[in-house]
Chains A and B, each alone.
Chain A
Amino acid sequence: MTALLSAQGVTKMFAGITALDDVSLEVGDREIVGLIGPNGAGKTTFFNCLLGLLKLDAGSVRFEGRDLAGVPTHRRARLGIARTFQRIELFTGMTPREHFLVAERVRNGRGALWKDLLFLGRPTSAEKEHAQKMLDLLGLAPVGDRSVESLSLGLGRLVEIGRALMTQPKLVLLDEPSSGLDRHETEELAETLRGVQREQGVAILLVEHDVDLVRNLVERVYVLDFGTLIASGPTSSVFADSAVRRAYLGDLV
């Protein structure tokens, strides 16, 4: 069986600086995988390479066995790769419900102008039902019709996660979901993510700073430092590795 996502020898250079050097990583079906590393290790660069926002200098990214080279970002999303953002990116002026409805509409792939002109573009009752289910699942129902600007950062992250899940992805890339959240909010987030993963059966690639969250959630972890992978394997054994402790964890753990 091939892995859901398979990155082989990904290399990316910026003006002579090697940001990523021969990074290989795999995520299996319904698996939660972590990618950790200190600031500037190349985590976000790697993310952007997976999503096609940056062009690879070498290596390949395959999703369900299909080579993604030359596939534009929005197509990758439709293939089943969804993401969240480290610096939260919501649709300003829209409510959480509208966020979910838009994502649902994209999944249904109905963007034709002529349908709009015939008044067929409004949300259908099935779409509304799906959006309501997602609001309930994430506990966003009480704020479902408030503008997202008035939500706290924690709720905003949940809206992002919900929007990603509404596209019914096979893989969700989470970019530092705990940044800016306090310990309590982070624990709640971990709880929600576990529930979501159980219910929807998606695979998750978690790029994270917060060691507790990673340990709490992730079965397998990759460690990135200065653009190269320095360790990978089951979470417990990787965190025991002395090189990892030196590079990333210091003596904190």
Chain B
Amino acid sequence: MEELISRIFVGMSYGSVYALLAVGLVLTYKTSGVFNLAYGAQAFVSGAIYYDLRVRHEWPIPAALLIAVFIVAPLLGLVLDRGLFRYLRNATAIAKLVTALALLVAIPQILKLWFGQNPAAGTQGIVPKGDVSYNPFGDVFVSRNDLATILVTLAAVIGLTLLFRYTAFGLQMRAVVESARLTELAGINADRVSTASWVLCSFLAGLAGVLLAPLFSAVSDLNYTTLVVVAISAAAVASLSSIPIAFAGGLGLGILQQILDRYLPTGSVLASNIRPALPFIALFLVLIFSPALRGRRELADPLAGVDPPPPAVAATVRSPVLTNATRIFGVVVGLGAAYYVFFHASGQWLDIAIRATILAVIFLSITVITGMAGQISLCQATFAGIGACATAQLATRFGMSVLVAMVIAAALSALIGALLAIPALRLGGIFLSLATFAFALFFDNVMARFDWVGGGVVPEEAPRPTIGFINFDQSDKAFLVLCLLILLVISVLVLAVRSGTTGRYLDALRGSETAAVSIGINAARARITTFALAAAIAGVGGGLLAIYERATNYDPNFVYFQGLIWVVLVVSLGSRSVEGAIQAAAGFFVFQAVIINQVVPWLANNLQPWYHMGQPPQTLAIILLSLGAFTYAKHPEGILEFNKRKSLEAIQRLIDRRSSKGGFTSAEGDVVDGPDAVGLPAAAGGPAS
């Protein structure tokens, strides 16, 4: 009994921090419409700075606390709002989610450039002698750290409730969420309100980050990202709208986690895998079973109708001549690159070509799910991982031909995708993304560790195939050809689906779900099909990668973090088209090999004489690429697609001018200009003023 009570106390201390984070999440969502997935990263910033000042530089507690929580954290919020989210206020929910994702990827990496790549052990709390425990009732032990956490959280939440309930400022905050533009029509400066709320939320994240520090053995971004998942569940319990429920949810989940931790059996592999995964399981269950989320719609701005329509895809506006010209240009460039790789390039470039081809296959699954169905799935890396594991297992343990194994693995991946889609379907937009996120984390932490999935400690082997006299084990060039063939086949299939019935149903569903259902389109079926198709494509890509590397290698290749980077990359470069996926994959590796490894050091070493730069940190590529996602809100069609459209428009104008000089005025020219004229002023997303 005493042990249960002390567990509850410890749980309350965890729970208060979860609650604080959950409250902050709800608050950000309520005031800026952004579901801030990067909230854990923000907490990590303050936690890391506090650690650095307090432990490494041995500052006194108040000074470290002042800098980390009261200065840096609000400042970060200010920067994020002024520099970023202010311009997104009227953007789509997906644009906001992608931006938050990019921050989740980039912030910890940026901080680690300075803080160091490894987690720092030996953290300290916000009260002196935090480890000292009191035992007020018999054998119940409560440490000073736990008490401080609980009390600080309580004070913060009471303050917030008062602010929201009883001040004009709280009312303004709530109004801004409803519609920033309507609020401005009523004479309230929505920008100011939103900035204030970001500063406040960021402060809460910082507070939570510092309070969390003594609960961990080390300060690492992974801990914070994982723990924010619990806060996300608590926020989801409150269906992102009620602060008291979010608070209670966070507290409850913290206590529940501690109690389960104590009373779960310790012996079995299953239990030891499930324990660290409790947050993800909780999030998944909350999302699937919470009645409040059933069929919940996104926040919709009543004034959304005044926005200009999105621009048309370049392919639909340009003339057939230009389309053919770009195609020929693409083929020439592709052949040139292929010639170079096959006959002149070093092994490094061959490796890049193979990896880029495989990654392009996986990226096509994002094209299907995001570009066609308009959903953001954060578990495409997991499906690729399932494909890789199944390919390796079937080939090694059951002695199947590895290519057959890959096809079966893709089918298995599709099945799992469909099974995941069925319960997740009734969740809209953000909640669907969160469910896929929970699934990815769950698979990483529980499933992938089983011997019969990832191979256990030693990754399962996946042999290279032999077809006839071609032995792919001997020749990487032959393997590249195989990969290119598979990429070609899948590209053609994706194009077929896009122009076929399924693609057009998805277009209709994305245009207006109510209308699509009203003419008899089965939304659930279309979405499940898409999920399964995307999972199968990712599965093929994962299988190929395993075969190329001759082993599953789940850990670096398919962990959730990869999935996040991939989504951010594809979506910001262009998820609508097949060539967007291929260009994103090629760009990803070329950017690393050329810009990061060659250009950046060359510039650094030639522009100034004082500092010599050796090999730049590999995370630099991730940081720069994810920051590129900030362009997404401005160019939801993708930055490549945007530039393609702009340059094609310019060429088209040139052609039109030439032909009108020559006395030709084609009737077709008018048709081409029609949607174009509407599309041009559509680079929206600026501040509403």
Write out, one digit per residue, whether chain B residues 670-689 have a CB within 8 A of any chain A CB (1) or not (0). Answer: 01001101100000000000
Task: Point out the residues of chain B lying under 8 angstroms from A145, CB to CB.
Answer: 671
Distance between A91 CB and nearest chain B CB, rounded to angstroms: 3
- How many residues of B sit at the interface, in one of the four size bands? 35 or more
A102/B500 in contact, CB under 8 A: no
- Does B348 count as interface, using CB distance less than 8 angstroms? no
Distance A106 CA – B502 CA, assembled complex (angstroms): 11
B512 at the A interface (CB under 8 A): yes
**Would you call A164 and B500 a contact (CB within 8 A)?**
no
Distance A90 CA – B312 CA, assembled complex (angstroms): 16
- Cβ contact within 8 Å between B500 and A167: no
Which parts of B31-78 form the interface with A (CB within 8 Å)?
none
The CA-CA distance from A91 to B510 in the complex, in Å, is: 7
Say yes or no for A73: interface residue by CB 8 A criterion: yes
Q: Which listed residue (A116, A122, A150, A164) contacts B519, Cβ 8 A?
A: A164
Q: Which of A36-44, A55-63, A77-85 contacts B (4 or more CB under 8 A)?
A: A77-85
Instruction: Decide yes or no: A105 and B312 within 8 Å by CB, A90-B512, A122-B499 being known contacts.
Output: no
Does the CB pair A163–B519 fall under 8 Å? yes
If the complex has contacts A106-B520, A111-B526, A150-B678, are A116 and B503 also in contact, measured as CB distance less than 8 A?
Answer: yes
**Cβ-defined contact, B519 with A85, below 8 A:** no
Residue from the list A51, A89, A93, A122 in contact with B507, Cβ < 8 A = A93
A74 & B523 in contact (Cβ 8 Å cutoff): yes
Q: Does A14 contact B (CB under 8 A)?
A: no
Main secondary structure of the interface of B (DSSP, over half): helix
Choose among A51, A74, A110, A122 the residue with the greatest number of B CB atoms under 10 Å from its CB: A74
CB pair B514–A121 under 8 Å, yes or no, is no
- Chain B 490-521 per-residue mask, 1 if CB under 8 angstroms from chain A, else 0: 00010011011111110110111011111111
Cα A148 to Cα B499 in complex, Å, equals: 19
Interface membership of B170, Cβ < 8 A: no
Instruction: Please name all residues of chain B whose beta carbon is closer than 8 Å to the beta carbon of A90 when the two chains form the complex.
Output: 511-512, 515
Cβ-based interface call for B122 (8 A): no
How far is A113 from B417 in the complex, measured between Cα atoms in Å?
Answer: 15
Q: Which residues of chain A are near B514, meaning CB under 8 Å?
A: 85, 89
Which residues in B have their C-beta under 8 angstroms from that of A101? 504
Instruction: Give complex CA distance A83, B521 in Å.
Output: 13
Distance of A150 Cα from B499 Cα, bound (Å): 23
A82 contact set on B, CB distance < 8 A: 518-519
Within 8 A of A (CB), among B507-549: 507-508, 510-512, 514-523, 525-526, 529, 533
- Pick the contact of A93 from B310, B516, B518, B525 — CB < 8 Å? B310
In the bound complex, residues from chain A placing their C-beta under 8 Å from that of B678 are: 147, 149-150
Contact A120 B500, beta carbon cutoff 8 Å: yes
Indicate if A94 sits at the interface (CB-CB under 8 A): yes
A119: B residues at CB distance < 8 A: 496, 500
Contact of B496 with A74 in the complex, beta carbons under 8 Å: no
Asked if A150 and B518 make an inter-chain contact with CB atoms under 8 angstroms apart, the answer reads no
Q: State whether B309 touches A78 (Cβ < 8 A).
A: no
A98 in the interface, Cβ–Cβ < 8 Å? Answer: yes
Q: Is the CB of A103 within 8 A of B501?
A: no
CB < 8 Å: which of B309, B497, B510 contacts A149? B309
CA distance A83 to B499 in the complex (A): 26
Residues B309 and A105 in contact, CB atoms below 8 Å apart? no
**Chain B residues with CB under 8 A of A89:** 512, 514-515, 518
Q: Smallest CB–CB gap between A252 and chain B, Å?
A: 30
Q: Say whether B517 contacts A74, CB under 8 Å.
A: yes
Write out the residue numbers on chain B whose beta carbons fall within 8 Å of the beta carbon of A17. none
In the complex, what residue of chain B is closest to A110 when comparing beta carbons?
B501
The interface residues of chain B lying within 8 Å CB-to-CB of A166 are 519
Residues of B within 8 A of A150 (CB): 309, 674-675, 677-678
A129-B678 Cα distance, complex, nearest whole Å: 28
Assembly CA distance A15 to B331 (angstroms): 63
Contacts of A78 on B, CB cut-off 8 Å? 520
Within 8 A of A (CB), among B359-402: none
Pick from A74, A110, A113: contact of B529, CB under 8 Å: A113
Q: A113-B502, A147-B309, A147-B312 are in contact. Are A103 and B519 (CB under 8 A)?
A: yes
Looking at B493, B515, B518, B533, which has the most chain A CB atoms within 10 Å of its CB? B518
Interfacial chain A residues near B526, Cβ < 8 Å? 111
Q: Is the pair A115, B500 in contact by a Cβ cutoff of 8 Å?
A: yes
Residue of B nearest to A143 (CB): B674
Specify which of B500, B521, B529, B533 lies most central, judged by the most chain A CB atoms within 10 Å of its CB.
Answer: B500
A91 touches B512 (CB 8 A): yes
Contact of A74 among B309, B502, B503, B522 (CB under 8 A): B522
A29 CA / B462 CA spacing, docked (Å): 66
Smallest CB separation, A182 vs chain B (Å): 19
Contact between A91 and B508, CB atoms less than 8 A apart: yes
> Given B309, B671, B674, which contacts A92 in the complex, CB threshold below 8 Å?
B309
Contacts of B493 in A (CB 8 A): 117
Question: Within 8 Å CB of B507, what residues of A?
Answer: 91, 93-94, 98, 102
Q: B517 touching A73 by the CB < 8 A rule?
A: yes
Contacts of B523 in A (CB 8 A): 74
**Residues of the A chain whose Cβ atoms lie less than 8 Å from the Cβ of B500:** 115-117, 119-122
Residue with the highest number of chain B CB atoms closer than 10 Å, among A75, A85, A89: A89
Contact A74 B520 (CB under 8 A): yes
Among A91, A107, A118, contact of B515 (Cβ-Cβ < 8 Å): A91
* B310: chain A residues within 8 A (beta carbon): 92-93
- In angstroms, Cα B516 to Cα A108, docked, is 15
15 sample A-B contacts, Cβ–Cβ < 8 Å, listed by A number? A74-B523, A82-B518, A90-B515, A91-B515, A92-B309, A102-B505, A106-B519, A106-B520, A111-B525, A113-B529, A117-B497, A121-B497, A122-B500, A146-B674, A167-B520
Chain A residues packing against B (C-beta within 8 Å): 51, 73-75, 77-78, 82-83, 85, 89-94, 98-99, 101-103, 105-107, 110-113, 115-122, 145-147, 149-150, 160, 163-164, 166-167
Q: Top 6 nearest A-B pairs by Cβ distance?
A: A121-B500, A91-B511, A116-B500, A149-B309, A77-B520, A89-B515
Supply 8 further A-B pairs (C-beta < 8 A) apart from A91-B512, A111-B526, A113-B502: A73-B518, A74-B522, A77-B519, A91-B508, A91-B516, A147-B312, A147-B675, A150-B674
